[in-house]
Amino acid sequence: MAAVLFDFSGTLFRIESSESWLRAVLAEAGLSLPERELLRAAQALERVGALPGGTSAMEPVPDEFASLWEIRDQSAELHRAAYTGIARQVPLPDPALHDALYDRHMTPAAWAPYPDAVEVLRALRERGIAVGVVSNIGWDLRPVFREHGLDTYVDTYVLSYEHGIQKPDPRLFETACTALDVDPRDVLMVGDDRRADGGAAALGCAVHFVDHLPTTQRPDGLRPVLDLVC
């Protein structure tokens, strides 16, 4: 393999829990909720899928958001509108908290790299294998990589909102391959979403999937990548 492309959320990084997310925003706003109400609100936010990068919604997307939801990763405006709209299904003590929650999820503090991410990226760099990040997202994730010390191992970032294209569209993966000057047939795509990340196969890329789990439950899920690129 000449290059490895990685998804961001659920692959290299994991977002904080819905409870941590809500607690942080309430604290920043100087607000508090009784513990039972806080936990109930956090669970409700999780059920509707309001946390970008979090667990999948357990409830159907409301009809009024269905079309927006399908294209949410094609621009920053669509992404914010989709997630804040979904979040507003859950009442909070101040309406401004829904936007504050969205802002929080874009901060490096809301994300943690998987335990083996640095090790694997460093090993790829030492082997001379190029690395790209290809993500369906509505905001610039580069500061997250810089803050956590992973940016030095990434050669290119291809983010859906910057191109108006979202995975599984093969053009997003093709953009990454072009940026790295590699033949797609010499590229491995690593991700957690079989539909979205599996789109790379249409170009001839090999594809490897990891499980989207909390960091404590997936300490070495990326290490098999090193065997696949030998």
- Tokens 């960091």 sit at which residue? 215
Q: CB burial class (10 A; 0-12, 13-18, 19+) of residue 112?
A: middle
Its pTM stands at 0.96
For 71-179, where are the E strands, in sequence order?
111-113, 130-135, 156-159
Residues of the chain with CATH 3.40.50.1000: 3-14+111-228
Q: What is the mean pLDDT of the chain?
A: 97
Q: Judge whether 5 and 187 are in contact, CB under 8 Å.
A: yes
Q: Which CATH superfamily is domain 3-14+111-228 in?
A: HAD superfamily/HAD-like (3.40.50.1000)
Is residue 58 predicted with pLDDT exceeding 90?
A: no
Q: How confident is the model at residue 39 (pLDDT cuts 50, 70, 90)?
A: very high
In the predicted model, what is the mean pLDDT of residues 135-164? 98
* Residue 59 confidence class, pLDDT cut points 50, 70, 90: confident
The predicted pLDDT at position 27 comes to: 97
Quickly tell me which residue has 């079989």 as its tokens.
Answer: 194
The whole-number average pLDDT for the span 40-61 is 92
In the chain, % of residues over pLDDT 90 = 96
CA distances from 217 to 10, 13, 14, 118, 214 (A): 12, 13, 11, 17, 5
Query: pLDDT tens across 186-219, in order?
Result: 999 999 999 999 999 999 999 999 999 999 999 9
Q: Are strands 130-135 and 111-113 parallel, antiparallel or unpaired?
A: unpaired
| pLDDT of residue 57 exceeding 90 | no
* Structure confidence at residue 56 (pLDDT): 85
Pairwise CA distance, residues 61 & 115, whole Å: 32
User: For 159-185, what is each residue's pLDDT tens digit?
Assistant: 999 999 999 999 999 999 999 999 999
Whether the CB-CB separation of 7 and 190 falls below 8 Å is answered with yes
8 Å CB contact between 205 and 184? yes
Residue entry with tokens 């335990």: 115
User: What are the C-alpha distances in Å from 12 to residues 38, 52, 116?
Assistant: 29, 15, 9
